[in-house]
């Protein structure tokens, strides 16, 4: 399987996933509609990124990292553009799950997004660097920002989620563990890939990132959409609430 195979697979999987999520998402309340749009847009953005990379518009040739064995590498900058938009959207969706009864403390959400963007931009700087000391400093900063994202999710968001009913608390914890578990593999792949130590071949690194992307954006998107549907089912069974008035029947 060639690098092109994995790039086109990523494009096709993201496009199909976006269609599936938008088809599944219901629009009985404004909150449900917003969550469906958020999780549907994420794979659309990723599909555009994979199309750019598959057609040669989303990458450029760079010298190999200072600790890698190869003389040159293909640097896929389009994936960082993708992550700059999609990971904040995923965090907004997760925050909406945590605070299902109403978006309280928006500063927490902004803090998550800010930490996430620092993580992505410094990871981009890591990938572009060819001086060892500079490269690994950027990698350390990016990992530090990643830990800040974890803190925001499992401490701050979880504190807000504690006041929600039991099914919402369960849904948030399940979504948070799943999403962060997948995200935790990314720095390992970047470290071992051609932008880092060069332990993984370009094809293997592309394959792993494509699988991770499809899991984080499509599989998670389907899961989060179904969780939202179940939560709104419970809302409507208990009676429409002021924060999310009923728009139309299912």
pLDDT of residue 145: 97
Q: Which of 65, 174, 186 is nearest to 128 (CA)?
A: 65
**Tokens encoding 131:** 């001086």
pLDDT of residue 182: 97
pLDDT of residue 158: 94
Length of the chain: 250
Q: Which of 222, 101, 247 is nearest to 162 (CA)?
A: 101
Phi, psi of 210 (to 5 degrees): -60, -45
pLDDT of residue 189: 95
Query: String of b and e for 126-152 (b: at least 16 CB within 10 Å)?
Result: bbbbeeeeebbebbebbeebbebbeeb
Please write the tens of the pLDDT for every residue from 87-110: 999 999 999 999 988 888 899 999
**Tokens encoding 226:** 């179904």
Residue 63, classed as helix, strand or coil, is strand
pLDDT of residue 28: 87
Q: Which of 91, 79, 86 is nearest to 42 (CA)?
A: 86
H or E element in which residue 75 lies: strand 72-75
pLDDT of residue 246: 39
CA atoms within 13 A on the CB side of 35: 32
pLDDT of residue 103: 82
Specify the residue for token string 């900058």: 77
pLDDT of residue 73: 82
Q: Which portions of the chain are predicted below pLDDT 70?
A: 64-71, 239-250
pLDDT of residue 196: 87
CA atoms within 13 A on the CB side of 177: 6
What distance in Å separates the CA atoms of residue 22 and residue 195, rounded to the nearest whole number?
35
DSSP 65: P
User: What is the value of pTM for the model shown?
Assistant: 0.89
């Amino acid at each position: 399987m060639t690098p092109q195979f994995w790039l086109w697979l990523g494009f096709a999987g993201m496009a199909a996933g976006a269609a599936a999520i938008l088809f599944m998402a219901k629009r009985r309340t404004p909150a449900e509609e917003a969550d469906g749009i958020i999780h549907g847009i994420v794979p659309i953005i990723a599909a555009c990124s994979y199309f750019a990379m598959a057609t040669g518009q989303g990458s450029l040739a760079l010298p190999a990292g200072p600790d890698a064995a190869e003389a040159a590498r293909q640097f896929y900058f389009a994936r960082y553009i993708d992550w700059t938009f999609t990971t904040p959207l995923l965090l907004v969706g997760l925050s909406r799950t945590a605070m299902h009864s109403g978006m309280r403390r928006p500063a927490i959400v902004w803090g998550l997004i800010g930490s996430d963007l620092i993580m992505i931009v410094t990871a981009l700087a890591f990938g572009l660097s060819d001086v060892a000391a500079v490269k690994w400093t950027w990698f350390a900063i990016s990992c530090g920002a990643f830990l800040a994202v974890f803190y925001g999710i499992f401490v701050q968001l979880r504190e807000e989620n504690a006041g929600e009913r039991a099914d919402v608390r369960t849904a948030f914890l399940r979504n948070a563990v799943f999403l962060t578990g997948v995200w935790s593999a990314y720095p390992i792949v970047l470290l071992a890939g051609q932008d880092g130590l060069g332990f993984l071949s370009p094809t293997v690194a592309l394959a792993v990132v494509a699988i991770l992307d499809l899991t984080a954006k499509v599989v998670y998107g389907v899961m989060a959409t179904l969780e939202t549907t179940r939560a709104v089912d419970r809302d409507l069974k208990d009676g429409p609430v002021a924060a999310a008035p009923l728009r139309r029947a299912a």
